[in-house]
């Protein structure tokens, strides 16, 4: 894509028309393939409650660095050279951060924290400087928002860097506190004493773009899951059993992909694009509620690896937890996603989560391959239900709504209730 040769002061996206995802953004995503791989490997290497929580401790900042940058490129044009250079520097810092994940609770803690802080503070500082340089009164609300965001990023940075310096439990405590600061900042509108707070209407985003960016991150996660499955299969001698295990694992990923992308992704993107307050939906449905779906894909990938490594043996507790827990986490996250976007309670998704839970007692009497097949059949049945009985997903609120909520709700897939 050719770079526009206009002034470097003009770094914002064009205010009219759809904001397309650029090749620069697609290139940027490649670094986070490494990040998802590192988190998956860390979880696979320590399948305990502690290992799971530590993996989450690294997934959350990786996601936050990526999704915050997705918001940044919703406003700033990656095809402008200054913005492109900012993204390249963020890529480099992201690569350092992801590479530090395996030893981030050891000797590379400061590298991990320093890289993350440089991404969050550096990107937001650039936004403040660029918006102030433009001096456009129309950008004042966005400038104030970025100034507040920079204040929160600096406060979080102190905790991240302090955690990188200390060792042991103190590091974990400081980093958890830093994550609480990061994740609560948008929820409270980046409130700064004496300087007010931002509202979601200040976040004038192009919803279609943010939706597509988050969809692409899920594709990155699915890609890593399929890659891990293929690598595990390649390490074993091909037999009828291992080929069957590979087919079941692949089918499970296809079913999860189908649940999200076949019917709902495009309608969800259309909903946020047409909504009177896309910033609110961008914050809740995409920034927050994509986390459990990404986590579900990662846990599913670990379950697939465990089932592939010993498909006919005894099903260990950790194998059952990942084989069933990964899809359940993804489907539950998608149910919440639908609830926020369409104000609908997805009964089929609740049934699927319950069915996966009810399969847990069978783990003691069936082999990993059988348990994986049963989990795949549950998610596959959910995907088939969406095809057979597609739910009514008319956007519940696409016009101004003073109360900030939809004019109507839906109690189950396909049945709207009156206000």
What would the two tokens of residue 158 be? 């102190």
Q: Please, what is the end-to-end C-alpha distance for the chain in angstroms?
A: 47
Q: Label the pairing between strands 409-412 and 415-417.
A: antiparallel
Q: Which pLDDT score, from 0 to 100, does residue 412 have? A: 40
The average pLDDT across 141-147 equals 92
Cβ atoms < 10 Å from Cβ of 215: 18
Q: Which range (123-137, 143-157, 204-218, 270-284) has the least confidence?
A: 123-137
Q: Which pLDDT score, from 0 to 100, does residue 106 have? A: 94
Q: How confident is the model at residue 67 (pLDDT cuts 50, 70, 90)?
A: very high
Q: Which pLDDT score, from 0 to 100, does residue 377 have? A: 98
For the chain, how big is the Rg over CA atoms in Å?
22
Q: Which pLDDT score, from 0 to 100, does residue 406 have? A: 38
Q: What is the pLDDT of residues 266-298, one digit of tens each?
A: 999 999 989 989 999 999 999 999 999 999 999
The average pLDDT across 179-188 equals 97
| pTM recorded for the entire structure | 0.90
Q: Are 298 and 40 in contact (CB under 8 A)?
A: yes
Residues facing 410 on adjacent strands: 344, 416
**Which residues, in sequence order, are CB contacts of 111 under 8 Å at separation 6+?**
96, 97, 100, 104, 164
**pLDDT at residue 3 is higher than 80:** no
Q: What is the pLDDT of residues 307-354, one digit of tens each?
A: 999 999 999 999 999 999 999 999 999 999 999 999 889 999 999 999
Q: Residue 417: in which H helix or E strand, if any?
A: strand 415-417
| Alpha-carbon gap, residue 175 to 157, rounded angstroms | 10
Instruction: Name the DSSP class of 12.
Output: B
Q: Which pLDDT score, from 0 to 100, does residue 201 have? A: 86
Q: What is the pLDDT of residues 84-96, one digit of tens each?
A: 999 999 999 999 9
Q: How confident is the model at residue 392 (pLDDT cuts 50, 70, 90)?
A: low
Angle between helices 240-261 and 264-274 (to 10 degrees): 30
Q: What is the pLDDT of residues 17-38, one digit of tens each?
A: 567 899 999 999 999 999 999 9
Cβ atoms < 10 Å from Cβ of 40: 24
Vertex 216, ends 211 and 218: CA angle to 5°? 100
Dump the DSSP string for 33-100.
HHHHHHHHHHHHH--SHHHHHHHHHHHHHHHHHHHHHHHHHHHB-TTSHHHHHHHHHHHHHHHHHHHT
């Amino acid at each position: 894509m050719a770079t526009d040769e206009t002034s470097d002061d003009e770094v914002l996206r064009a205010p009219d028309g759809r904001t397309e995802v650029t090749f620069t953004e697609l290139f940027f995503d490649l670094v986070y393939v490494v990040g998802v791989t590192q988190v998956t490997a860390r979880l696979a290497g320590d399948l305990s409650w502690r290992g799971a929580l530590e993996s989450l401790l690294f997934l959350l900042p990786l996601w936050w660095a990526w999704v915050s940058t997705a918001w940044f490129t919703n406003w700033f044009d990656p095809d402008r050279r200054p913005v492109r250079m900012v993204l390249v520097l963020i890529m480099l810092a992201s690569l350092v951060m992801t590479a530090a994940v395996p030893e981030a609770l050891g000797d590379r803690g400061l590298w991990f924290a320093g890289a993350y802080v440089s991404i969050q503070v550096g990107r937001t500082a650039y936004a403040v400087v660029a918006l102030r340089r433009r001096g456009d009164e129309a950008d004042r609300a966005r400038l104030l928002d970025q100034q507040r965001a920079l204040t929160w990023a600096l406060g979080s940075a102190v905790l991240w860097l302090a955690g990188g310096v200390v060792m042991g439990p103190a590091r974990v405590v400081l980093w958890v506190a830093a994550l609480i600061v990061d994740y609560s900042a948008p929820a409270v509108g980046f409130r700064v004493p004496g300087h007010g707070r931002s509202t979601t209407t200040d976040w004038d985003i192009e919803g279609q773009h943010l939706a597509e960016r988050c969809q692409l991150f899920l594709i990155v996660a699915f890609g890593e899951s399929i890659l891990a499955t293929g690598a595990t299969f390649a390490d074993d001698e091909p037999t009828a059993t291992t080929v069957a295990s590979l087919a079941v694992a692949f089918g499970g990923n296809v079913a999860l992909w189908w649940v999200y992308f076949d019917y709902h992704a495009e309608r969800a993107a259309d909903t946020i694009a047409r909504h009177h307050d896309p910033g609110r939906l961008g914050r809740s449905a995409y920034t927050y509620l994509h986390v459990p779906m990404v986590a579900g894909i990662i846990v599913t990938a670990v379950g697939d690896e465990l089932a592939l490594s010993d498909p006919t043996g005894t099903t260990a507790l950790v194998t059952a937890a990942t084989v069933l827990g990964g899809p359940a986490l993804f489907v539950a996250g998608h149910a919440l996603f639908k609830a926020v976007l369409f104000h609908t309670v997805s009964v089929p998704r609740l049934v699927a989560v319950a069915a996966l839970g009810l399969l847990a007692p069978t783990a003691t009497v069936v082999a990993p391959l059988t348990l994986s097949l049963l989990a795949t059949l549950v998610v596959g049945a959910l995907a088939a239900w969406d095809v057979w009985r597609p739910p009514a997903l008319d956007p519940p609120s696409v016009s101004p709504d003073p109360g900030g909520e939809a004019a109507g709700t839906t109690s189950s897939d396909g049945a709207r209730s009156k206000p």
